[in-house]
Structure formats: C-alpha cells, structure tokens
Structure 1
Amino acid sequence: MSVLDLLPHCVSGVYFLYHSDFDQWQFGKLSALRETALALQGGYQYYYMGYYIHSCTKMRYKGDYSPQHVLDPESYEWNPLNGELRTLLDKKSYVSLARERRRKENASTQSGGGLKYAEGSQPEDEDKLDEYPFPTAAEAGEAVSNGTSLFDLKVPGLMTVEEIEEQLDLGTMPIKVGGRMAEAQDLVSWDGSTFRDSRTAKGIISRPIKNLPESVNVSPDATTAEIYEEIAKASKFSIHRLRVTKGSDGSAIPNGGDMTVHDTGVRNKSAVDVKDLGPQISWRTVFVVEYLGPLLIHPLMYLARPVIYGTSAPASSLQKLTLLMCVIHFAKREFETFFVHRFSSATMPIQNIYKNSGYYWIMSGLNLAYWTYGPNSPAARPSNPLLTSLGVALFAIGEICNYSTHMTLKNLRRAGTTDRGIPQGLGFNLVTCPNYMFEAIAWIGVALVNWSLSTVLFITFAVGQMGVWAWKKERRYRKEFGDKYKRKRYAILPGLW
C-alpha cells in the first residue's frame, strides 16, 4: 500500500507498506518507478522521495535513483547526491556542503596569508554542532513531548520566529471550522460576532450554502473562473458571494481568467471549500459613496453658515481656500475612482459601505467642515501669508504626486486582470506606498491653511490607517516577488514609519 501527497508541483511519497514475506521482490522500487511515472503523467515538476538517511539501510535505497538531490541543512540549496556528497556522508553523521565550502575558503585564505597555529592549538572546528540542542531525533522528540517549542530545535528548513512574524500575516491565517475555512482573526472576535455575519466563524457554522453541489467538473486547462461559474450555476448563488479555497492548504483559488485549474495545484478529485461571503457591493460603488459625502458636505455647510452658526459675517479668505482645497481633493478622488483605479476584487461585503462612508462623512466631512467654517474658527482670522503659501504649495505637490503614483499603479496592472508588477518611479524608492505619503502631505497643507485641530485629528487617524495598509502591502510584495523586490525600511513616512 502506497500513501502519497499530491502537492501543486510535486508527488511526495509518504509511506509504502508491504509484508516482509515479499522482501525479495523489492516492491518499494516498483512503487518508486510507478510514482515517478505518475509525476510525469500528471505534469508535476518533481518527485519527492522523503527524508534521506545515509546510515539507514531502509532509507539509503533512495540514492539509487538519479538525478537525485538532497537539501543542504544550512543554505537550503539542493545538491546532487553525487560522489563528493556520498563520500562525506560515509565519513560524517552531519554534512553541509555549504559548510565544507566555507572550510575550504578559510583554509585557502590562511595558507595564502602564511598563517600558522601555535603548537597544540587548532583552527575553529566547523563541525561542532553546539547550536543544535538535541542532536538525535529521539532526544528532540522527547523534548517536544515535554513542552519544548519546535523553534528551539533549530530544525533545518523550519522558518524562524522572526521570519514568520516578518513574512506571514498570522491574523488572516486560514483555519478550518466546520469543514470550511475561516480566518484566525474571526476566532478573536468570536464573542462579538453574530450568526448572520457569514465572514465570521459563527457565520460559517450557521450558514451553509443551499444547493451546493457535491462536485463540479472542469477541465485542467480551464480557467479558475470556470470553477466559480460551475459552482454558482449549480448552487444558484452569485459568483461574487463565493470564495473558493483548496481543501489541502486553505489557499484561495482566484476568480480570474489568467490562471488555469492545473496551475493552482488542483487535480482530479481534489477537494475545495466554498464560503458564502454574504451580500456584496462593488468596490467602485463604495468609493463613490464614501467620497461623495465630504464632497457635498463641505459646500452645503459653507452655504448654511447663517443657519448653523447664526452669523451673517462673510467667510474669510482662509475658509474659502479650505473649501476649495477639500472640494478639489474629493473631486479628484471621484475622478480616480471612475477613470484610474483598477480593483483586484470586484466586490466587498455590503456592510463595509457603512463603515467606510461613516468614517469619511464624519471625520473628513462633518468634523472638518463644522470646525472650519464657523465664525470662531482659526480659519476665520487673518491669514499668515507665509504659512498659507506653504500650505497651498504642499497641497498642490501632494495632490499632483499622489495622482502620479496612482497612474503608476494603474499601469502595473493590465485592464481586466489582477496581476501585479513591482512599482517603480516617483517615491517608490523611499517608501512602500508613496501614494499614502503624498496624500498625507496634501492634508498637512490643508492644516497649515485652516489651523484647525479637526484637520490634525483627521490626519492622525488617516495616516494611522494608511500605515497599517502600507505595511500589509510591504509584506505582500516581499512574499509575492521575493528577491526581485527591494525591501523598504519605511512603509509610508521616510525616517518615521
């Protein structure tokens, strides 16, 4: 009996069991040949035979197959299991070709420089393994049973705590709940979640999708969008309410035309999980509504000054200038929503429109307008020409450069696709998201014009939220592009954050 893992690009042999009476027939080798054929027929790139233990007869047979590669425990490079590596494995219980190369380089440097060791002294023994606290598997297993963390074992190939914290967003890690996938953050908010919210663990358990088919049939060469189309057709559900993930690892299957079913690693009879995302609304609609609020609130409150504040005094030049700047900013936002922005997802949960619109309508609309256009507002006083000119200049620079970065981001993605490129150009060599940086600069310009604490309060909240988004994007860039991406030290504000 053979047990296999079928991974996206690899056939992995887990176990092969047969009765000892049939040893002479070497069924293990027959199974290895069959599994190799399976990898070729299925279009897999690799056949992984599992751990190779040179000193164990039952494991050593894996070296009879070629070309065979072994993972270096220190550099994580794949090295061919050839004469050099075999010779070292015959002599030592621990072998790292990366370490051996360092030894040769050090020896060459020392001999070339004429260095000599005093009698009785030796060069540093690079084969010492003091950093590995449990040299045998039995000792390590016992330590783990007694509560030792896997991270303390320093297992080759296992990510360190620092690497996990830097590269993975643990708050959104998928966790299987009731046979479906939820995010880790849903469990934190368990007590505050409701059965009516399908995005939470409670909602997943309580709201199965009616008419969900047991299986759908799609060609390996079909696009992943066809998976969604078949499920939606059978369940009579909107495609935009569906989230499909692989049952093997919980990774999302995109709803798009750029990736085939085979590319995702889904194979014949693979299991997928389907989640109801709840009522949806288009991203574009949400953007239009949230920016429309302050775009209308500022002119209306400006015109209603006699009613709101009980004054007939004319507005000051700074109040008029603030009104103009706010209208320009949000009119630009609406223009970009219709003609510039391309959204990787078509929709978002409908309740987001209340959260997003509430924030913009209250913080940048009512809050900003009420404290700016009143007769006692700092903006009602005479202007300081120097500060006002500086504010206008910062606003203009911020808005123009912000628009430029949005155009850069637009041109990275082909129309109708969700693919991304590495952004280059104005500001992208300084921070991860220069569009957020330039928007902050523009609002600092507004603050220098109206001198209102309400503007400072809005900037503080806005920069805080944009900073969180920027760091998430930095982590995504690092994960998506790897070494091709130049990591940024600051996500939004150079030298600060």
Structure 2
Amino acid sequence: MKVQVERRNGKHVCALELDNKATLEDLQKAFDEKCHYYPERQRWTKIDDPLSAADGVVLNDGPLSGQGISENSVLLFKDLGVQISWRLVFVIEYAGPIFIVPLFYFAVYQCHLHATLTQQLAFWLLMIHFVKRELETLFIHRFSHGTMPIIRVPINCLHYWVLCGVAVSYYLFHPLYKGPFDYKLGTEEGIWFRKSHTPSGSPLAYVLFAIMLIFEYCNFQTHVILRNLRPRNSKERAIPYGWGFNQVSLANYTWEIASWITFAVLINCLTAWVFLVVASLQMMQWALKKHRKYRHEFKDYPRYRHLPLNSISSPLSRHTLIPIPS
C-alpha cells in the first residue's frame, strides 16, 4: 500500500510504498531510508480529516492496518529533533556532582584541611550517592524509552548540577558553615578546628550517616527488582514486590526521598532543604503517572498500594518539570 507523508503545516514530504502487513517499525525504517531521519527522531500521527490535523491519533507499535492505515492514508510526520539515549542523559546528570562536590571540598574552600564532622560525612554521602547512581545507570537500569531530545539535557542537568552540586556545596563547605551536630572545638570562635584536632561531633551525626546508607541500599535493591522484571531489549512491565513495593507503588522513589530527608537533617542547610523539596515534587509527579499506569495495565494490581507522600500527589498531575524516564 502507498501512504502519503505530510508535515503538520500541510507540506507534502514524500510517498512511501509499504507492505499491507507493515508495522510502525517498518514505516520508520522506510522513512529513514528515504528521508534520513532515524526512527528515534520520528513521531507519526494518523489524521482522518486533512483539514483538522489537531485531531490526529499517534501511531503505536504494531501493524498499521490495525490502526486504520490503508491505501493513500495521510500520515503526519514530526521531527523530534536530535536525540540522546536516556542512559547517557543520566550519566551526564550524575557526573556533574561527582566533579562539582570535590571541586568545592578540595579546591574552592580547601575544606579538607579543616572540615567539621558534618562536612566530612556529608561529602562522603554525596559521593556515595552519585557514584551509586552512575553504576546503576551503567549496569542496572533498563529503559522502555530509548531516547529524549538532546535540547532537554541542560534542563535535566540543572537539577543535579546547580541545585545540588553548586548550591549545596557552596554553603556546606564554606569556612563559616557550622553543622547542627558539630562540637565547638578549636580556638577561633568555635568555627575552625586546629589541624592537630580530629573533627568531632554528636553521635547522632553518625546515626544519620548510617541511616542514609541504609536508605541508599534499599533504593539499590528496588532498582535490582525493577531490572529483573524487564527482560533485556524489552518494554514489558510486571508488578514489583519486596523492599517496600508491597506497601508503596514506587518504593524506589520512597527510599530516594527518605535519603534526601536524612541528608537535609544532617547538614541543616537551606539549599539542601530546597533541593529536597524540588526533588520530592518531581519524583511525586513521576510516581503519580507510573502509579496510574500500573493500575490501568494490571487489573489485579494491589489496591492497597499508595504513593509516597500521597497527600501532596494530587496537585502534581497536571504539570511535569522534567521528562519522565522509564
């Protein structure tokens, strides 16, 4: 069968000859061969009324004939722009703090020469968290959506590079910073420690350090569970169980939020609380959408499962700050 390809402005692009049993994948490959747009850049919409392109239906995976495509059907092509893999996006996002945090700690403030107990613990917690996320991205995560527009990368990086890497490090490692659990040792108004002194503080700081590590481990276990539910090179989904999933739909976000709450309590820095709020709101947006997908896709999905921080989820369904990774 022959289909006509147009842009939304009505400009004719080309005509494609397809097999009657062709799928969306076949359409994408044929268009790539003719017009040189790789499949990840393509979005296809079927329109019944050429005068009303806004009423089109986005084509899904599967046979085109089952979606109403026949001889001389008009298909709208949209170029999604240059794409970048979600895996590389996450690698770039998490690499920022891995370099920015040590930059402030060792170079900008030379905090390592006079670090308080809180500063030392917070530094290692940040490094452990983001190195863990990098390793998970490289070896654990499996994505149902392969790419995103490269133009959105700076927006995604803003969250971790600026709100966490720069904003938190600027205040946390500043020479005048005094943590809520630091003892006042040294001779200079209780702020600086003599080089001969070992930074000391309340045992509660070590307790919070251990608690955050536990939350990080729980978060890691949820990612392993999600990985094992999705075969390689597949978009299949299944109902997760264990490590918090029996109570919460998105336990991975629950442990992530718990980790950042613990971190904010440990350092008690305004920018850490701001980062916590922004990160929690974003994760709640993702959680709400995925929770609805679970309930729609699985008729036997446990109804008693709820969202993390369920009381703030309702107002978040209308807007999304950052594209949702799957």
Same topology, TM > 0.5 = yes
C-alpha distance in structure 2 between counterparts of 1:386 and 1:437, whole Å? 26
Give, in whole Å, the separation in 2 of the partners of 1:365 and 1:358.
9
State the Cα distance separating 1:296 from its structure 2 match: 0.6
**What are the equivalent positions in structure 2 for 1:328-367 lying under 5 Å apart?**
328-367=128-167
- 1:240-262 deviation line (CA, Å, top 9, x unaligned): 1101234357443346xxx4445
TM-score w.r.t. the length of structure 2 is 0.78
> Is 1:415 the equivalent of 2:218?
no
Task: Give the paired residue count.
Answer: 284
Mark the CA change 1:273 to 1:487 in structure 2 (over 3 Å): closer, same or farther. farther
* Counterpart check, 1:429 vs 2:230: no
1:358 Cα deviation (Å)? 1.6
- What is the aligned partner in structure 2 of residue 288 from structure 1? 91
- Give the corresponding residue for 1:490: 306
User: Which residue is 2:189 aligned to?
Assistant: none
- Work out which of the residue numbers 60, 67, 70 in structure 2 matches 1:268: 70
Indicate conservation of the 8 Å contact 2:109/2:175, yes or no: no
User: Deviation of residue 329 (structure 1)?
Assistant: 0.5
Do the aligned partners of residues 266 and 230 (structure 1) sit closer, same or farther apart at CA in structure 2, a change above 3 Å counting? farther
Confirm or deny: 8 A CA contact 1:246 1:252 kept in the other structure.
yes
CA contact (8 A) 1:342 1:415 kept: yes
1:362, distance to aligned residue in structure 2 (A): 0.4
Question: Residues 490 and 243 from structure 1, CA distance in 2 versus in 1: closer, same or farther, beyond 3 angstroms?
Answer: same
Measure how far apart 1:454 and its partner are. 1.6
3-state SS, counterpart of residue 237 of structure 2: coil
Q: Which of 194, 209, 221 pairs up with 1:392?
A: 209
* Structure 2: stretches of 5+ with no match in the other structure: 1-5, 49-54, 184-199, 314-326
Aligned equivalents of 1:486 and 1:216: distance in 2? 46
Verify the 8 A CA contact 1:212 1:234 in the aligned structure 2: no
Residue in structure 2 matching 1:238, options 14, 30, 38: 38
Matches of 2:176 and 2:285 in 1, distance apart? 35
Alpha-carbon distance, 1:449 to partner? 2.5
Corresponding residue of 1:304: 107
Distance 1:365 1:490 in 2: 31
| Counterpart AA for 1:317 | L
- Could you say which residue in structure 1 is the equivalent of 2:120? 320
| Aligned pair partner of 2:59 in 237, 253, 258 | 253
> 2: distance between equivalents of 1:419 and 1:277?
24
Q: For 2:232 and 2:250, locate their aligned partners in 1 and report how far apart those are by CA, in whole Å.
A: 21
Superposed CA offset, 1:158-181 (max 9, x none): xxxxxxxxxxxxxxxxxxxxx87x
Could you say which residue in structure 2 is the equivalent of 1:478? 295
**Residues 488 and 458 of structure 1: CA distance in aligned 2, closer, same or farther (over 3 Å):** farther
Q: 1:301 offset after TM fit, Å?
A: 0.7
Report the 3-state secondary structure (helix = DSSP H, G, I; strand = E; otherwise coil) of the residue aligned with 2:58. coil
Aligned-partner SS, 1:295: helix
User: Any idea what the Cα deviations from partners look like across 1:87-146, whole Å, max 9, x if unmatched?
Assistant: xxxxxxxxxxxxxxxxxxxxxxxxxxxxxxxxxxxxxxxxxxxxxxxxxxxxxxxxxxxx
Secondary structure at the aligned position of 1:229 is classed as helix
Shift of residue 219, structure 1, vs aligned partner: 4.1
Unaligned runs of 5+ in 1: 1-178, 181-203
Matched, 1:217 2:18: yes
Distance 1:472 1:289, change over 3 A: same
- Aligned to 1:212, the other structure's residue is in SS state strand
- Give the 3-state SS of the residue equivalent to 1:378 in structure 2: coil
For residues 216 and 112 of structure 2, what CA distance do their matches in structure 1 show?
A: 33
For 2:211 and 2:42, the matched residues in 1 are separated by 44
The offset of 1:494, in angstroms, is: 6.0
Q: CA deviation at 1:363?
A: 0.5
Q: CA deviation at 1:223?
A: 4.4
Q: CA deviation at 1:370?
A: 0.8
Supply the AA of the counterpart residue of 1:292. A
Q: 1:484 to 1:312 in 2, by over 3 A?
A: closer
Whole-angstrom CA distance in 2 between matches of 1:402 and 1:250: 40
The Cα RMSD (Å) is 2.6
Q: Distance in 2 between matches of 1:260 and 1:336?
A: 35
Residue 258 of structure 2 is aligned to residue 441 of structure 1 = yes
Q: Share of identical aligned residues, percent?
A: 36
SS of the aligned residue for 2:148 comes to: strand
**Would the alpha carbon gap of residues 254 and 333 (structure 1) be closer, same or farther in structure 2, given more than 3 Å must change?**
farther
CA distance in 2, matches of 1:408, 1:320: 32
Give the alignment's TM-score, normalised by structure 1. Answer: 0.53
Check conservation: 2:101, 2:169, Cα contact below 8 A: yes
Call closer, same or farther: CA 1:271–1:205 in 2, change over 3 Å. Answer: closer
Separation in 2, partners of 1:332, 1:468: 23
* Higher Rg: 1
Partners of 1:416 and 1:285 lie apart in 2 by: 17
Seen in structure 2, the aligned counterparts of structure 1 residues 229 and 399 have a Cα distance that, compared at 3 Å, is same
Cα distance change of structure 1 residues 244 and 312 upon mapping to structure 2, 3 Å threshold = closer
Partners of 1:373 and 1:237 lie apart in 2 by 47
| C-alpha distance in 1 between matches for 2:242 and 2:127 | 28
1:448 is displaced (CA, Å) by 2.9
Deviation of 1:453 (Å): 1.9
Residue in 1 that maps onto 2:322? none
1:464 pairs with one of 281, 284, 297: 281
Superposition deviation, residue 239 in structure 1: 1.6
